[in-house]
């Protein structure tokens, strides 16, 4: 029986590219006056597109525009403190999660800087949908997915054993591997930059996006149904 459903955030509930575009603009705006900010922005976007494990992107972009000595601190700070007022979830995601959340508790397990990830949830307007939100960096970067700790922390907070939980995420190497390793059923969504990756373990289900993932769960006879209302609640 499925008693809880947990979600990844970036590229599962909303397109991460939307957030990154704003973040790179904020980084470029924080560059020193001597730097060509348009060229820096183009370099940031270009280098980031090479892959999402974004080590030293700011340094590499500064290098490319001929300012390897520039102080990166204000730019890194601009990235970390980027907090857009509004981000758009994937179409239908909020409606789907709202319907599912009436039946079972929902959770989020996401990697990244705690303030950055919380700002994304706030901008998406979805924090209230979740019974548990675990941002793995609160335990330290070494506990990022597929490490078991953030998955187990969310399950513990929700008081649901892994065998009764489903995890929905976009990354085979983090979401599917990590969820399966702790004993959850993993649903892979084919959204974001990992959509075309063919390697990785076989998930329980593969679906085009989060709306389809939730719709399939809503039709699943294994999904826990809420207890019938007591007589006193029936008018």
Using the minimum distance from each CB to Mg ion, give the nearer residue, 9 or 57.
9
Q: Which stretch binds Mg ion (CB under 5 A): 93-101, 168-176, 204-212, 221-229?
A: 168-176
Which among 9-17, 70-78, 142-150, 152-160 is the span making contact with Mg ion, rule CB under 5 A?
Answer: 9-17
Nearer to Mg ion, 8 or 137 (CB): 8
Q: Which of 8, 20, 108, 147 binds Mg ion (CB under 5 A)?
A: 8
By CB under 5 A, which span of 5-13, 58-66, 74-82, 85-93 interacts with Mg ion?
5-13
Q: DSSP 3-state assignment of 168?
A: strand
For 38, other C-beta atoms within 10 Å of its C-beta total 10
DSSP string, 122-151: HHHT-GGG-SEEEEGGGG-GGG-TTSHHHH
Rounded CA-CA distance 24/145 in Å is: 24
Q: How far is the CB of 12 from Mg ion (least distance, A)?
A: 5
Nearer to Mg ion, 52 or 103 (CB): 52
Least distance from Mg ion to the Cβ atom of residue 172, Å: 11
Q: Based on CB atoms, which residue is closest to Mg ion, 10 or 137?
A: 10
Stretch of 1-9, 143-151, 157-165, 177-185 contacting Mg ion, by CB under 5 A: 1-9
Among 5, 6, 11, 136, binds Mg ion (CB under 5 A): 11
Assigned token pair, 53: 């494990």
Nearer to Mg ion, 198 or 225 (CB): 198
Spatial distance between the Cα atoms of 22 and 15, rounded to a whole number of angstroms? 12
Q: In this complex, which beta carbon is closest to Mg ion, that of residue 3 or of residue 171?
A: 171
| Exposed/middle/buried for residue 168 (C-beta within 10 Å: 0-12, 13-18, 19+) | buried
Identified binder of Mg ion from the candidate list 2, 10, 78, 120, rule CB under 5 A: 10
* Rounded distance between C-alpha atoms, residue 187 and residue 203, angstroms: 6
Among 165, 169, 170, 201, smallest CA distance to 182 is for 165
What token pair was written down for 75?
């730019």
Q: Does 111 bind Mg ion (CB under 5 A)?
A: no
List the one residue from 14, 28, 136, 170 that touches Mg ion (CB under 5 A).
Answer: 170
Non-local (6+) Cβ contacts of 116 within 8 A are 79, 80, 82
Site residues (vs Mg ion, CB under 5 A):
8, 10-11, 170
């Amino acid at each position: 029986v499925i008693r809880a459903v947990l979600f990844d955030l970036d590229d599962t509930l909303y397109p991460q590219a939307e957030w990154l575009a704003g973040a790179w603009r904020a980084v470029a705006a924080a560059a020193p006056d001597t730097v060509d900010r348009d060229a820096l922005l183009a370099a940031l976007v270009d280098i980031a597109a090479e892959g999402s494990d974004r080590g030293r992107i700011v340094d590499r972009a500064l290098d490319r525009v001929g300012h390897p000595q520039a102080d990166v601190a204000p730019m890194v700070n601009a990235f970390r403190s980027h907090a857009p007022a509004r981000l758009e979830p994937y179409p239908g995601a909020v409606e789907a999660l709202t319907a599912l959340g009436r039946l079972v508790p929902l959770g989020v397990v996401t990697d990244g800087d705690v303030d950055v990830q919380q700002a994304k949830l706030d901008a998406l307007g979805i924090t209230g949908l979740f019974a548990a939100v675990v941002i793995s960096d609160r335990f330290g970067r070494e506990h990022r997915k597929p490490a078991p700790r953030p998955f187990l922390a969310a399950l513990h907070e929700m008081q649901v054993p892994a065998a009764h939980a489903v995890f929905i995420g976009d990354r085979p190497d983090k979401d599917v591997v990590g969820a399966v390793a702790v004993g959850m059923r993993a649903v892979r969504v084919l959204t974001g930059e990992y959509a075309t990756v063919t390697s990785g373990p076989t998930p329980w289900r593969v679906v085009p996006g989060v709306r389809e993932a939730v719709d399939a769960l809503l039709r699943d006879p294994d999904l826990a149904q809420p207890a019938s209302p007591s007589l006193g609640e029936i008018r």
